[in-house]
Structure 1
Amino acid sequence: MSRPRILLVDDQKMILLGLERMLRRMRNAWDVVLAGSGREAQGCMEDQAFDVLLSDLNMPGFGGAELLEWSRERHPGTIRIVLSGHQNKPMILASTRTAHRFLTKPCEPDVLVATLSETLEACLLPAGKGGVRQAVVGMGSLPVGPGAARGVAEQLQDPSGTVPCLQDHFLEDAGLASMVLHFVNSAFFGVPRPILNPWEAFQLLDRDSWPAIRVDPVPSELESRLQPLREKHLAQARHALSITRSEGAPVEVQNLAYIGGLLAVAGPMILAISFPERFEEAMAQPQALGVDLQQLAYHYFRLRGLPAPLLEIVGNPREPGRYRQPPSLALAAVHVASGKPDESFLSGTPFLGRVPTWQRLHVPAQG
């Protein structure tokens, strides 16, 4: 892979030079270019390719929000990061629809370098126009099912304030779940611990933030392919939850297994949306695109800063040793609930002998 190219954008010259100094330690690994306005950045991106666009939001004229949206449309393979001291919550949340990460000013050098390093992992994906990298980086929120979309739209307009009936939508639809987890785990919220439960994440949003939960319609021909994927992974999530409950696991482990099983749908969804003509082939032979389904899900959520425990579950539930050996109970539960348990994955663990019992567990109708 060639040296990553990073474009830094801020209308305040001193801040821009400060960012450049922060990244000087990486000068032998990354190429850094500076732009003092959104229009200047636009010109830079038209002239040369960049792996990362890191931009301030509050700039005069062609601002950061417009630049991010333009970049997503014209250069979908470019990773988009916001670095801003702006405190307008609706604007910040709106930017998370186009930005993969959000960092607050002032930003510590170690945090900036770590964030860039993490997101640049996506550059390891197969590139090229219309390739896997462009699909993962360019994709916005995971599509939300029509029933959940209608239910959420109706309830978010309810002036009564509390809407507990939304809980099932956020816990059973991967698109809604991943959206609010992306919001709340961003640096803007500053939550002192990782948030793994989408319903808890939603409850951390105030009413002024609800408009950011905007659900785009899905074409009917695509929805016919996505709905079976949603149903399959919801069943997988419920089965994984039943397994961890049967083992008397703490609630945190049960939640992790459930959400991990639900969000694992990201890989097949990316295939269905970005490679419809190769969907059946890639589902039957996951390496047909040069990357497996778990890697697609891992890079999608890694880009968006979801917590490491969830990345471990969705990232590769069938390869032993990629994250830790032996696998955790939550990871083993999702692995078995996927329907294709591999004895070598569970070899040497107390879980191997439990597989027949786990497979026979009743899966409840509600998660």
Structure 2
Amino acid sequence: MDKRRILFVDDEPGVLAELEQTLAGMRERWDMEFITDPLRALARLDADPFDVVISDSRMPGMNGGQFLGEVMLRHPRAVRIILSRPMDRDDALEALNASHQFLAKPCSAETLKAAVARALALRKLLAGDTPLKSLISRLDSLPSMPALYTRMVQELQSPRSTADSVAAIVAQDPAMTAKILQLVNSAFFSLSRHVSDLPTAIVLLGLDTIRALVLSVQVFSQFDPQTLQTLSVDTLWQHSVRVGALAKRLAGSAGVDREMVNDALTAGLLHDVGKLILAANLPNIYVKVAPLAQAEGIPECEAERRLFGAAHGETGAYLLGLWGLPEPIVEAVAYHHHPQDRETRELSALAFVHAANALCSMTGTARLDHAYLDELGLGGRLDAWRELAAGDADV
């Protein structure tokens, strides 16, 4: 088995020595190098490719944000992870635009291993001559994890976080605040009264729902509608919100635990992010997707597969996996059109996102997999689910 190559960069030799000792057990699987100087690290990267680059946020001469920015320009296929102490918050935020994942110092060996393993598992999707590998290699750029969302997650991890402290972070972006309040007051979330402030919205809907909304709004805001002439961002956004809200309702009606309900919401909101990536990077090809689907009476995901070799589901899942989102969310995005392709059959967010997307289909070509739902014991719920979908109003 070929070893994966991991480069660690930190200006403190003691930190690198501790990392090397902690990760000694991974030597059989990882080829690791530890460098204190970011300029020397760039030269090393130019000489030999690495699969993953892990950098401290604060270093003299060139901080982590600047270093990872150079890595992104020179070696865009390398997975980029930033490590930051709480005191280095400003440096870490600067680095977020150039990194795929953020890990807080001190970082346990298990957390670090899990982050790298997750990143490498995604690379495994590209191993060999696969259609997804070919497609990803043609993309000029992938969006970075939204900075505001990461700051919000950091705050939620603090034992001192409150609805007011989380709201204060979101409120730093007035456009974001307005969008969140618009969504909260829409028919999708069925609140009994009008909400005019973020702390109240957080109390009524919960931090998990607000976090999912912030992430989805920020992801969509990274794409300029003026440059996506082949795709209506507003139409896709409204569809995504409807699917997310319905997936949450379907999961709730099935009596699953809160974590699965929240995963269904997040995955539903982000299930079509791959369309944005394809339309932004390969617009001349993406413009052919809808006409091909309509001409041959096939789902648009199948038209994408013919034109690109891979579809928007796995493309979006690849990005979300790089960002370190939970596996159930990544899987739901990857397989929302073809849930039978998932290796295991236990109930997960995928079932609710698949059903919600088909029931909310913009084109009418997204099809329910009745055999899959029957296998999970959900087929008998479809009539009730159709009523829920019919009752949804546009945002």
- Could you state the TM-score of these two structures normalised by the residue count of structure 2? 0.69
Alignment of 1:313 onto 2:340: no
Give, in whole Å, the separation in 2 of the partners of 1:133 and 1:313.
23
Q: Which amino acid aligns with 2:181?
A: Q
Letter aligned with residue 68 of structure 1: L
In the alignment, what sits opposite 2:372? Answer: 345
Give SS of 2:117's match. helix
Q: In the alignment, which residue of structure 2 is the partner of 1:218?
A: 224
Q: In structure 1, what is the equivalent of residue 201 of structure 2?
A: none
In structure 1, the gaps of 5 or more residues are: 143-153, 173-194, 204-211
Which residue does the alignment assign to 2:345?
325
- C-alpha change, 1:125 and 1:311, in structure 2 (3 Å) is closer
Letter in 2 for 1:332: A
Q: Secondary structure at the match of 1:5?
A: strand
- What does residue 78 of structure 1 align with? 78
Matches within 5 A, 1:37-76: 37-76=37-76
| 8 A Cα contact 1:76 1:138, kept in partner | no
1:9 Cα offset (Å): 0.6
Q: Does 1:230 align with 2:237?
A: yes
| Equivalent AA in structure 2 for residue 124 of structure 1 | K
Measured after TM superposition, the shift of residue 236 of structure 1 is 2.0
Q: Which moved more, 1:234-243 or 1:116-125?
A: 234-243
Query: Cα gap change, 1:246/1:85 in structure 2, threshold over 3 Å: closer, same or farther?
Result: closer
Query: What residue identity is the alignment partner of 2:303?
Result: Q
1:92-146 Cα distance to aligned partner (Å, 9 max, x none): 233223222222333322222221111112212337998416749843258xxxx
Query: Paired residue for 1:207?
Result: none
Deviation at 1:215, TM superposition (A): 5.5
Q: Which residue does the alignment assign to 2:354? A: 335
Are residues 5 and 132 of structure 1, via their aligned partners in 2, closer, same or farther at CA, if it must alter by over 3 Å? same
Please tell me the residue identity of whatever aligns with 1:284.
E
- Preserved CA contact (<8 Å) 1:136 1:299: no
Indicate the residue corresponding to 2:181 in structure 1. 167
Write 1 or 2 for the structure with the bigger share of helix.
Answer: 2
Tell whether the 8 Å contact from 2:212 to 2:265 is kept in structure 1 after alignment: no
What 5-or-longer segments of structure 2 have no aligned partner?
147-169, 187-205, 290-299, 359-366
Tell me how far apart the structure 2 counterparts of residues 202 and 240 of structure 1 sit (CA, whole Å).
14
CA distance in 1, matches of 2:219, 2:368: 36
* Number of residue pairs the alignment of both structures matches: 325
1:185 aligned partner: none
Give me the whole-angstrom Cα distance separating, in 2, the residues matched to 1:69 and 1:81: 12
Residues 79, 100 of structure 2: 8 Å contact kept = yes
Distance change >3 Å, CA 232–CA 105, structure 1 → 2? closer
Shift of the 287–110 alpha-carbon distance from structure 1 to 2, 3 Å rule, reads same
**Contact persistence 1:55–1:82 (CA under 8 A):** yes
Aligned to 1:156: 172
Q: Tell me the amino acid that sits aligned with residue 302 of structure 2.
A: A
Deviations 1:204-259 (A, max 9, x none): xxxxxxxx999656151316513332233223223334434555667665544333
